[in-house]
Amino acid sequence: MNEDTFNTSVRKFLKKVGITSQREIEKHVDEAVRLGDIQGNESFRARVYLEIPELGIKTEIEGEINLE
């Protein structure tokens, strides 16, 4: 295994996950505020699932997103 290739690949994947997730969250929060469905001062529980079947990884990551 090439450690540099592995680390670079993992970092690229995590960057893609992070950027895509942030864009989706921002898009939906903006839309919900615009429609009046939320006020913009809420907090939301968030959950992400990571699965890599070939490695037997199936894990859940939870956190909270605060708008204020």
Q: What is the pLDDT of residues 28-44, one digit of tens each?
A: 999 999 999 999 999 99
- Nearest Cα neighbor of 66 from 48, 45, 47, 49 is 45
What pLDDT does residue 41 have? 96
Q: What is the pTM of this model?
A: 0.86
Average pLDDT of the segment spanning 39-58: 97
Say how many C-beta atoms besides its own lie within 10 A of residue 25's C-beta: 13
Q: How confident is the model at residue 64 (pLDDT cuts 50, 70, 90)?
A: very high
How far is 67 from 33, CA to CA, in rounded Å? Answer: 11
User: 4: which 2 tokens?
Assistant: 């540099």
User: pLDDT band for position 45 (50/70/90)?
Assistant: very high
What local confidence, expressed as pLDDT, does residue 21 receive? 97
Largest Cα separation within the chain, whole Å, is 52
Q: What is the DSSP letter of 40?
A: S
